[in-house]
Amino acid sequence: MERLATTPRADWRAHVERELGFAFHTIAGEPYWDETACYRFETAEIDTLEAVTGELEKMALELVDRVVRAGDDAYQRLRIAPEAWRAIERSWKAGEKNLYGRFDLCYDGKTPPRLLEYNADTPTALFEAAVVQWDWLETSWKGRDQFNSIHEKLIDAWRQFGLGHDRVYFAGVRDHAEDNGTLDYMRDTAVQAGLQTERIAIEDIGWDGVGFADLEERPINVMFKLYPWEWLVGEPFGEHLLQGVAKIIEPAWKMVLSNKAMLALLWEMAPGHPNLLEAALEPNRIDGRVVRKPIYSREGANIQVLNAGQVIAKTSGAYGAEGFVYQAHAAMPAFDAQYPVIGSWVVASQPAGIGIREDSTAITRDTSRFVPHFFV
């Protein structure tokens, strides 16, 4: 694994906008998509990442089963709202299919990859991983290969849901560029799978007393939502959602995995596993440097790095009301003074490819850049 300096394509902005519809390549005047560098892997390193991703997904599904069988005490430890407990159980026991997720890994090409967290419910950076970096490879590094079968696997996964002629609604917050890009891409993969689709803002979903409806009063029976389950549960119509009046993707059982408290339960299930970092729900349980993470948070917000109880690094934000998880500090690898985090994707619980975000600090934030990769 190495970081290579590269020369950006002369017309890359116009190209990705025109050919790919990639509108959020620049954020607040700074590059988000970055072609000034790329990461080169050996085939054996990609094989390692694929195998570890499959192992982590297998463990995650085992954890869901254990939590559902353990019942209320386990849900409480995960800080899941009580009104969601029965919906999680129904969803899991009914075998509701999941679509996708992203494991964030610490990896330097030498030591085993270790799990930083699992974005199991509403992961983004998907379009960049599936489409934009593949386009970069085809136009800049023809003949090389990339760990990336995300697009094909998504199309196949949609076909396996058995949705028939039901229209699939793609819902998210209005006027959010990155979320809209992800929703448009997900909708495109569903269309390529032969499904009927519709876009709708979360704010425009109605309740007619029997079921959910769009602005034209058409029923919403199937919905892919880029909106966290923990937020949905707190919405006025959340109680109806939990009763199963519509098929929701991701399924309700993903609530077990979409909060960082699961890191502690995962460690309890497999203590000492080489691909996990020690984690606990109580402070002062882990020796050495510790990273304190809000159980519910996003984009690196409200992170603290602690040494002997003293804060030595932190990020700001508005999360933390539900509590924190404490995870052993992982010394992030640095390449040219940049710290990469590997986002390893699963589609229908199968390893599907990677995307890399890097930053000049060891905490990945919403401003961290996406850098492409290839392997030989």
Distance, CA of 284 to CA of 334 (rounded, Å): 28
Sheet with 2-5, strands from edge to edge, namely 2-5, 37-41, 373-375
The whole-number pLDDT of residue 234 equals: 87
In this structure, how many other beta carbons lie within 10 angstroms of the beta carbon of residue 309? 8
Token representation of residue 274: 């080489």
In which band, very low, low, confident or very high, does the pLDDT at 177 lie, cut at 50, 70 and 90?
confident
E strand intervals along 47-184: 100-106, 114-119, 168-172
Residue 4 pLDDT level (bands cut at 50, 70, 90)? very high
Q: Could you give the angle at the alpha carbon of 329 between the alpha carbons of 325 and 330, nearest 5°?
A: 125
Q: Which of 105, 51, 46, 55 is nearest to 273 (CA)?
A: 55
Q: Which two tokens stand for residue 124?
A: 């983004």
Q: For residue 250, is the peptide bond before it cis, meaning its omega torsion is within 30 degrees of 0? A: yes
Q: Quick check: 353 pLDDT over 80?
A: yes
Q: Do 228 and 173 touch, CB atoms closer than 8 A?
A: no
Q: Phi first, then psi: what are they for 78, rounded to 5°? A: -85, 0
Give per-residue pLDDT as tens, 37-57: 999 999 999 999 999 999 999
Q: What share of the chain is helix, strand, coil (3-state, %, to 5)?
A: 35, 25, 40
The rounded distance, in Å, linking the Cα atoms of 183 and 209 is: 27
What is the mean pLDDT of the segment spanning 77-94? 96
Asked if residue 360 has pLDDT above 80, the reply is: yes
- Say what percent of the chain tops pLDDT 70: 100
Mean pLDDT estimate for the chain: 94
Residues 106, 113 contacting (CB under 8 angstroms): yes
**Which of helix, strand or coil describes residue 183?**
helix
At residue 52, the pLDDT reads 98
pLDDT on residue 317: 86
| Pick from 46-50, 78-82, 362-366: least confident | 362-366
Task: Tell me the pTM.
Answer: 0.95
217-244 residue pLDDT tens: 999 999 999 999 999 998 888 888 898 8
- Model confidence at 197: pLDDT above 90: yes
Predicted local distance difference test score (pLDDT) of residue 114: 98
Q: Do 201 and 174 form a contact (C-beta atoms < 8 A)?
A: yes
DSSP state of 142: T
Phi-psi region of 33 (alpha: psi -120 to 50; beta: other; left: phi over 0): beta
Q: How far apart are CA 330 and CA 314, in angstroms?
A: 15
Q: Residue type for 289, please?
A: R
CA distance 340 to 346: 19
pLDDT band for 89, please (50, 70, 90 cuts). very high
When pLDDT is cut at 50, 70 and 90, the band that residue 278 belongs to is very high
Helix 85-93 to helix 43-70 angle (10° resolution) is 120
- Residue 258 near residue 91, CB atoms below 8 Å: no
Predicted confidence at residue 235, as pLDDT, reads 86
Average pLDDT over residues 245-270: 97
CB atoms within 10 A of CB 208: 9
Q: Which two tokens stand for residue 106?
A: 């610490």
DSSP classification of residue 184 = H
Question: Residue 49's pLDDT is what?
Answer: 98
- Angular region, 137: left φ>0, alpha ψ -120 to 50, beta rest: alpha
What tens digit of pLDDT does each residue of 282-307 get? Answer: 998 999 999 999 999 877 788 899 99
Domain boundaries, given as residue ranges, for the chain: 2-259+333-375, 278-328
Strands 37-41 and 100-106: unpaired
DSSP line for 73-96: HHHHHTT--GGGHHHHHHHHHTTP
Question: Once rounded to an integer, what is the mean pLDDT over residues 164-168?
Answer: 94
Mean pLDDT of 104-128: 96
Q: Provide the pLDDT for residue 335.
A: 96
Question: What average pLDDT does range 91-117 have in this prediction?
Answer: 97
State the pLDDT at residue 287.
92
Residues 158 and 195: their CA atoms lie apart, in Å, by 8
User: What is the distance between the alpha carbons of residues 229 and 250, in angstroms, rounded to a whole number?
Assistant: 9
Residue 351's beta-bridge partner residues?
Answer: 346
The stretch 331-341 carries a mean pLDDT of 95
Measured distance CA(343)–CA(353) in Å, rounded: 8
